[in-house]
Structure 1
């Protein structure tokens, strides 16, 4: 009975230090005092092990070994936080801040942002997209200068109002204005200059 009881006793783990010599997914070859063993990255160890890392291991007599933490790694090694399944960052109270001295990169098949209010302060924005679609109830924009280069621009508006304090100029190879009902032009002075022909065609023409 005593031998059976010993076999039923759970394996008792102990802590060991080690150095990573090779990595393959969640598994790593770790050199420790007892020799080279294969250890699995524990779920609580979010950093992916890298060759040269000094790690803290949990080892038991049944042959199981887990990397619990990355203690020290060579300078300049990229730190990668990885998850094997769906992951969420949840803050019950307070704010969540992501800060970096360099670049913050985001790569995903789809990005969804849901917020009641968003404030973005950027020095320079560069957007490259194949297609842009937006649905906005109201837009208010204030800018010092706007430069837009378009191959084609089409606008469908219910009403359009434009107020220009100083000069308004349109340069085009040809221009056509179609008005279904009434066209009114009012100015203090008006001048029409044509190099060749001027044609006015109407049922009635009133001058003066």
Structure 2
């Protein structure tokens, strides 16, 4: 590939002469693309025009134009790709959309999606990853047949929460709860197993049973 610094300057033309031709991209140095099959020294290299959103690649067939000035050679369009299943769409501001064998990648500093009515995303597998995230909804409904989550620290605040669960299993290292008002449990049966010590402190304690009350221990202190 020729060195860009050694390329001869195009001769000055008193009258602009516009020429257009098909060419094949042979290589690239910086913003300049080298073209083969043009038969015109003025069109042996060209820049990508702003209107040509697809980034030319080596082997692509392109439409090039020269307006008769020293720096007036541009690639107007990519007519045929050397690799039909691959393309990169370049937008102003450093935004790019790349398609490769049916996969789409969007590269941008910031991406915003706005819809006046609704937005939907459907896929067999969805992955969201980031350093921080925020979800804001006036109303949120979620349904999953199975969920597995790993958290380092969780902090939640809710004015009211209602949950209906068929079966709940929890394994906790340490559990601390502060309840300002009433803590009420309604259950068909309650069973508690404590390996070491069970302490119950209260200003008043009431225990009522319709049937039998049994207390069993090696030593029982009352009062």
Which bin holds the TM-score, normalised by the shorter protein?
Answer: 0.5 to 0.7
- Superposed CA deviations along residues 41-97 of structure 1, whole A, max 9, x for unmatched, are xx97xxxxxxxxxxxxxxxxxxxxx9xxxxxxxxxxxxxxxx772211111x4x221
Equivalence for 1:161: 176
Question: What is the alpha-carbon distance in structure 2 between the residues aligned to residue 99 and residue 161 of structure 1?
Answer: 43
- Superposed CA deviations along residues 176-195 of structure 1, whole A, max 9, x for unmatched, are 11111111111111111111
Aligned-residue CA RMSD in angstroms?
A: 2.8
Equivalent runs, 1:1-208 vs 2, <5 Å = 85-91=102-108, 93=109, 95-208=110-223
Question: What is the alpha-carbon distance in structure 1 between the residues aligned to residue 192 and residue 127 of structure 2?
Answer: 43
Question: What is the alpha-carbon distance in structure 2 between the residues aligned to residue 188 and residue 207 of structure 1?
Answer: 16
Give, in angstroms, the shift of residue 109 of structure 1.
Answer: 2.1
Q: Considering fraction of residues, name the structure with more strand.
A: 2
Q: How many residues of Structure 1 are paired with residues of Structure 2 in the alignment?
A: 134
Question: What is the alpha-carbon distance in structure 1 between the residues aligned to residue 155 and residue 215 of structure 2?
Answer: 41
Give, in angstroms, the shift of residue 175 of structure 1.
Answer: 0.7
The SS at the match of 1:166 is: coil
Question: What is the alpha-carbon distance in structure 1 between the residues aligned to residue 145 and residue 197 of structure 2?
Answer: 40
- Superposed CA deviations along residues 107-154 of structure 1, whole A, max 9, x for unmatched, are 112111221111221111111211111111110001111111111111
Question: What is the alpha-carbon distance in structure 2 between the residues aligned to residue 183 and residue 114 of structure 1?
Answer: 44
Give the TM-score, by structure 1 length: 0.58
Question: What is the alpha-carbon distance in structure 2 between the residues aligned to residue 180 and residue 114 of structure 1?
Answer: 41
Any runs of at least 4 consecutive aligned residues in structure 1 with deviations exceeding 2 A, and if so which? none
Gaps of 5+ in 1: 1-9, 12-42, 45-65, 67-82
Give, in angstroms, the shift of residue 161 of structure 1.
Answer: 0.8
